[in-house]
Amino acid sequence: MKPTLAAAVADGQPEAMTNLWQVLESGGPVMYPIAALSVLALMLILVYLFAMRRGSVVSGTYMQTADALLKKKDHLGLLAISNRHSEAVAGLMGRALDFLSKNPKAGIAEVREIAQAEGIRLAGLWNQRISYLADIGSITPMLGLFGTVLGMIKSFTVVASDIVASRPMMLAEGVAEALITTAAGLFVGIPAMAAYAFFRGRVQGMISDLEAASTILMAQLAANLQDGASKE
């Protein structure tokens, strides 16, 4: 049977400190949810690095194609192109043009409302996704604090016991559990909050890019609708 970290320290075996599994075991049961949250945080960071890219909002290829089709006043063609592209601005224009195709008499104000609603929906979705990292960054230190309380309770229980011979080792186990869970909670929580701050900045950039691209396209669409109305 392998000795625990506290028992190894009490027996004068410093080499046991290098065993990571023993360190985690010495942290007590609170280490399991902290470990699970650390894995989840790592997975979210990797996913967001690929998914939360400013290139996923707008691309030069789509903007050039949209500009050419709007100049030709080929709204149905732009709708078809928008449905085939995965960029956020393509989805926004697709919603607006789909509404316009189903409501030919709608004005530019109504079309802009549809586009704005889609933009607000996308911005809320992006912010909601990255908020999971903030939640992990807040929960893990609290779990570490909870483990600290449990470890201190164990230590004070040992002090109050009558078993003098086992007091040093049991006291060391309680202190080790308290300190390890605190360190583990901070070890997971700090990078999670740092990642949240990084992706929050990236999301703000994505929202700015979406607003700029959609404003250009909606202005061209408004000009087309005004020309059509004046000819009628």
Whether the pLDDT of residue 15 is over 60: the answer is: no
114 is written with which tokens? 């549809």
Alpha helices in the chain (DSSP H): 5-10, 20-26, 31-51, 60-71, 75-84, 88-102, 108-159, 167-231
pTM of the model: 0.79
pLDDT in tens, 166-198: 555 555 666 667 788 888 899 999 999 999 999
The domain limits of the chain are 5-9+31-43+57-226
Annotate 75-116 with three-state secondary structure.
HHHHHHHHHHCCCHHHHHHHHHHHHHHHCCCCCHHHHHHHHH
Assign residue 12 a region: left if phi > 0, alpha if psi is -120 to 50, beta otherwise? Answer: left
Instruction: Report CA torsion sign: 166, 171, 174, 179.
Output: negative
- What's the mean pLDDT when you consider all of the chain? 82
> Residue 1: pLDDT band by 50, 70, 90 thresholds?
very low
d(CA 60, CA 74): 19
Torsion sign over Cα 208, 214, 216, 222:
negative
User: Can you give the pLDDT at residue 205?
Assistant: 93
Asked if residue 159 has pLDDT above 90, the reply is: no
pLDDT for 63 equals 93
Asked whether the predicted pLDDT for residue 228 surpasses 70, the reply is: no
**Of 88-97, 139-148, 175-184, which range is least confident?**
175-184
Evaluate if residue 109 carries a pLDDT over 70: yes
CA atoms within 13 A on the CB side of 40: 17
Number of CB atoms found within 10 A of residue 112's CB: 17
